[in-house]
Amino acid sequence: MNLKSKLRSFLGATALVLPVAFFASCQTRFDQVNDHKLVIAHTFNSREGRFLALDQIVKLWNETEKVKNKEEGFYPITLNRQFAQTYAEQGNALELKLKAKNANQLVNLIFGYPTLAAVASQYDMSLKYSDFPSLQNAIKTTFPPEFLQESKEIAGLNPKEYWIIPSLKSSRTLLVNGPVLNYVVQQATTQGTKKATIKQEDKIWFENLDKEKTDTEYIKKVWGDYVPIPLEQGGLEGYEFSKSSLENYQDFFDLISRIRKSFPNNFEESKNKNKDKKFIIGVDDIGNSLYSIAFANADADFSKFLFSLEKNPNAKNDSDTVIKYATFLDDKTSPRYQTALKTFNQIDKLLKEDAIYFYGLVQGNPPSNTYLNDHHMLFAITTTSNYKNRFATPLDRIDILEFLKDPVTQKELLKTRIKNSLDVSSTPVYAAFSPTKEEAEHGILFKFTSINNKSSVPTGSWWTYNSNNTQTNYMLKFKSYAVKQSNNKLSVETWDANPTSAQVRELDSNTEFLNLINSLNKPNASENEAKNTQWKAYFFNKPESFKKEIPTEFKAFNNLNLLDSSATTLEWINIDKTVVYKKLDADKSLNEDEIHFLIEPNKKDRNSTKKLVTFQGPGLIGIHANKEEDLATANFLKWFISEKQSFKYKEKEGEPEKTFQGTANEYLGFRGNYLAPTNDNLSSNPDDSSKFPQNRLFKLLFNTFQNVKLHPEENVVFSEPAGSLSGELRTNITKAFISYSNQIKSSPNTPHNYETFVKNLKDLFSPKKIK
């Protein structure tokens, strides 16, 4: 999920969900009204691959014979995006409806996190998948047992049963800025009385950190000079660099502190603020990281983790379970408290050294990759999804683009970060260019290049003329157009990649020009359909001056108007916002071939025998409705996870249609750049582009999950134990860390420790108590 959005939503939440035990005795199960349909709640954006795939899956289900013939146990499905806008809001939305016994506005399935099942269990409204033998058997045969761990750690529910379907799953990766780490290693191994060394078996890996070494001059300016400090004093003199130091938290945190201490000059307050701010490590969501580090420190043992599922004293059945959150805060003799204390102290040390970044420390909450991509960060731990956001691109780009999607009706502010792809809206996008003086003399009014979603921003769309006045287009990736006026006629010259000649189409009027645009928007549209389609293409006018090194401002337009066919000038209308154009320097940014992907540190120390594997992302959680709808839900889920289908799709408009063969669950993961951890998927070849995304980060995720399947004795799948308090606790952990950071800054001479943090956390729940 989007952690930044999650944080924003949580920071505004104030309601406290009480522990499971409070509700168990006073809440009773009720039936929803049977409206002969199923409703799936989700939070997916209508433009992203996950939604497009889910919408396609639902339509395919609704067209199956049993659904169309209205057979018993087979209902059509509708999607509900309004149930809750974010994952953070789902728990509260569900509880409000369950508490009110709202039989008309509930849903049957939710794409969400196990906390929802814990909330539903308070009201005896969780849908037990094991009650349906065919579904239970399908779950057992589809997934390796290690990836059904989530169902074993939900308060109030029997850990022997199935309560959640794994679907859109990811893990966590350690991002390594190759050029920056290479600079650190090069400095430490060539300077000082006792130079650092590299472990022999890892020399090739370190040599390949930065093959081109084009960014060194800029990195030296950012990070400053290396200061040799003896090993026993916390420096890098005599230190042995090894890849294994990145694989366990004890050695990893030790390395971070040593690097921070060895580059003191540019971390002075005057040189480490605003645009010069630097960190050694970024983790974005500190709650996520606290849990992962704590699980590693607990030797991947849930009984030593901060909290986990426990049976109530004198439990009457296997469902009589609870999660006790207070233990890791108060019981100093417990293993849980000791794990929490050790984990906090590790984070605390980095925080006091100004070496760690997470949401809440800097205004605006930029993601870690903002610093990493500009060489202002060395490491980051983040999700294995969103590959293209994990590095910068050496192309011209629009850094931040803001405009109103529909100024007349919606008044919705659309914010889009454009790097190496464009996804500003569901409508087509064009880059429009002002003509040069020479081009204007040849009658060119303006030029524009089609840019579909997920297409690269043009690196150059500038036209020149050779001796016989024929136009040459240097843009080879996209179809480009020049609008020309001559002899009182308006024409559009179309240029394909590697053109030999232009295709010219004369236009009689502004209206015909707009109709042409519509036909470009919808290549398969008929002429009449194009004429009747409202023009919604966005144009960006980039002046000639944008080629200069200094970033310039330009206007973003959501409409333009050619006065008439004899016009010699353009009238641009509906100017929404001035935006800043930046030229990204490849030698001052982290490029795709310079970033290295490793799995997150997965052990407490180098002697640990068990490795943690973070298992995150939404699954499908069932809510009891009534006998008929529950059966229909089970039938759909069995089909969703076990019946292979053929799915047609296009990665982007204008590209050839492709086919995916597999289950609906596997297809959903594929389109969202996630992984459904099925036996079939994990037995397949990750190089098969028809089944899996083809990038290094996904390969890392695949290999990590496959290793769990092949070697379960060495790996422990970790997903956060879920109680009704889980969501609020995680949010308040972030808030408590932010408060703690502010206390360190405002009172640097006052002792601040775990007890300070615990008090901050408890104050956030006041007057309630954490139990």
Please state whether beta strands 321-323 and 396-404 pair in parallel, antiparallel, or not at all (unpaired): unpaired
pLDDT above 70 coverage of the chain, percent: 71
- Do 254 and 301 belong together in one domain? yes
* CB neighbour list of residue 583: distance below 8 Å, 6 or more residues apart: 396, 397, 549, 551
Q: Are residues 35 and 14 in the same domain?
A: yes
Q: Is residue 321 part of a domain?
A: yes
Among 220-234, 521-535, 603-617, 755-769, the least confident range = 521-535
pLDDT digits (tens, 9 = 90+) for 323-368: 999 999 999 999 999 999 999 999 999 999 999 999 999 887 888 9
Residue 98 sits in a domain whose CATH number is 3.40.190.10
pLDDT for res 494: 58
Residue 609 and residue 527 share a domain: no
pTM of the entire structure? Answer: 0.75
Residue 761 clears pLDDT 80, i.e. is over it = yes
166 closest CA partner among 509, 679, 536: 679
Verify that 80 and 36 share a domain, yes or no: yes
**Tens digits of per-residue pLDDT, 219-267?**
999 999 999 999 999 999 999 999 999 999 999 999 999 999 999 999 9
Q: What is the mean pLDDT of residues 565-587?
A: 41
Q: What is the mean pLDDT of residues 628-644?
A: 98
Of 239 and 521, the one with more pLDDT: 239
Same domain, 311 and 327: yes
Q: What is the pLDDT of residue 282?
A: 97
Residue 662 inside a domain? The answer is no
Q: Which residue has the higher pLDDT, 275 or 369?
A: 369
The b-or-e profile of 516-538 (16+ CB within 10 A means b, else e) is bbbbbbeeeeeeeebeebebbbb
Q: 295: domain range? A: 176-391+590-613+726-765
Both 61 and 145 in one domain: the answer is yes
Last residue of a domain, one of 540, 568, 583: 583
Q: CA quadruple 670, 675, 680, 685: dihedral positive or negative? A: positive
In this structure, the answer to whether residues 102 and 244 fall within a common structural domain is no
User: What pLDDT is attached to residue 234?
Assistant: 97
In this prediction, residue 493 carries a pLDDT of 61
What is the average per-residue pLDDT within 741-755? 94
Pairwise pLDDT comparison (520 vs 447), residue with the higher score = 447
Residue 467 has pLDDT above 60, yes or no: no
Is 525 within the bounds of a domain? yes
Beta strands, E only, 672-771: 715-718
- Domain co-membership, 128 together with 164: yes
Task: Provide the residue type at 306 as one letter.
Answer: L
Q: Is residue 686 part of a domain?
A: no
Query: Mean pLDDT across the stretch 441-454?
Result: 50
Q: What's the CA gap between 140 and 453, in Å, rounded?
A: 39
Tell whether the model's pLDDT for residue 580 goes beyond 60. Answer: no
Q: Is the pLDDT of residue 732 over 60?
A: yes
Whether residues 342 and 427 share a domain: the answer is no
Residue 324 within any structural domain of the chain: yes
621 and 607 in a single domain? The answer is no
Same domain, 180 and 291: yes
With respect to residue 77, please indicate whether it lies within any of the assigned structural domains. yes
Residues 570 and 595 in one domain: no
pLDDT at 509 over 50: no
What is the per-residue pLDDT across 682-699, written as a single tens digit (0 to 9) for each?
999 999 999 999 999 999
Query: 197 lies in a domain?
Result: yes
Q: How many domains does the chain have?
A: 3
CB atoms near residue 656 (< 10 Å): 6
